[in-house]
Structure 1
């Protein structure tokens, strides 16, 4: 009779483990943290480089810079207030409301500014809008990752 082929399997004890970074339960992966930081840096850098190279008056550049900073702060502040409220951490209604209003105002200011900007071509307006949105979203994600990491490490 012909011999049957032998099935070879890798058992855990036979395989040398690769370097594994210990991640706490609830902590985001390093890849997700890195992607979030990269998105924030790319969004803010693209916005600022575009602003630096724009052929607009210095006061216009200052307006768009201030709107970006205001938007980043308001987005992170709102994310914190929403999460605190969800986790049962006391948040005053005035702070929660102001956070929402600030974010709405910052988005309105960028929208109104870009709509009324006669010196900016449509493609640049789209560029600024997308860089602004990317920056806001990634700032919220970075803040969430930082908080999740801290909470995961505090549990141990």
Structure 2
């Protein structure tokens, strides 16, 4: 890892980690419950569900790629471009789908907000997992060292 580019990260608090997971679950589950109860054709429900899955994957991939690049881990320009394109496309596809949907404006807002909450919190959850990894690794190494000292 390039030490000049590495950024010292602080361990996220338990409250922030918990809030991130709750936000992800609330956003994704609310969106899916809305789809389950929606009076729309099954193919429409499938479209919106696929957008949620694609969006979550694209957002996490983009966050990981940006973080890798910031830490000096090689990321190809092609992959970084695909990540940005995917996030942009999923937002565009959701916007076009909701614009053309025969839903009440409140329902359109509901889906848009639940979708954005799920995407944003997925990024926060992935960031927390990555930020906690060095601390968990150090803790595991410490336990190994303690076990070795006792033996």
Question: TM-score per shorter chain, which class?
Answer: 0.7 to 0.9
Higher Cα Rg, which structure: 1
Residue number in structure 1 paired with 2:86: 102
Kindly provide the CA deviation profile for residues 40-98 of structure 1, in whole angstroms up to 9, marking residues without a partner as x. 00000100000000000000000000000000000000000000000000000100000
* Mapping of residues 6-155 of structure 1, within 5 Å: 26-118=10-102, 120-155=103-138
Q: Return the alpha-carbon distance in structure 1 between the equivalents of residues 43 and 12 of structure 2.
A: 40
Unaligned stretches of 5+ residues in structure 2: 1-8, 140-151
Task: String of CA shifts for 1:13-52, please: whole Å, max 9, x gaps.
Answer: xxxxxxxxxxxx7211110000000000000010000000
**Equivalent pairs, count:** 131
Q: Deviations over 1:106-148 (max 9, x none)?
A: 0001000000002x11100000000000000000000000000
- Does the aligned pair in 2 maintain the 1:47–1:128 contact within 8 Å? yes
TM-score (norm 1): 0.81
Which 5+ residue runs of structure 1 have no aligned equivalent? Answer: 1-24
Larger helix percent: 2
Question: SS state of the match for residue 10, structure 2?
Answer: coil
Cα root mean square deviation, aligned: 1.1
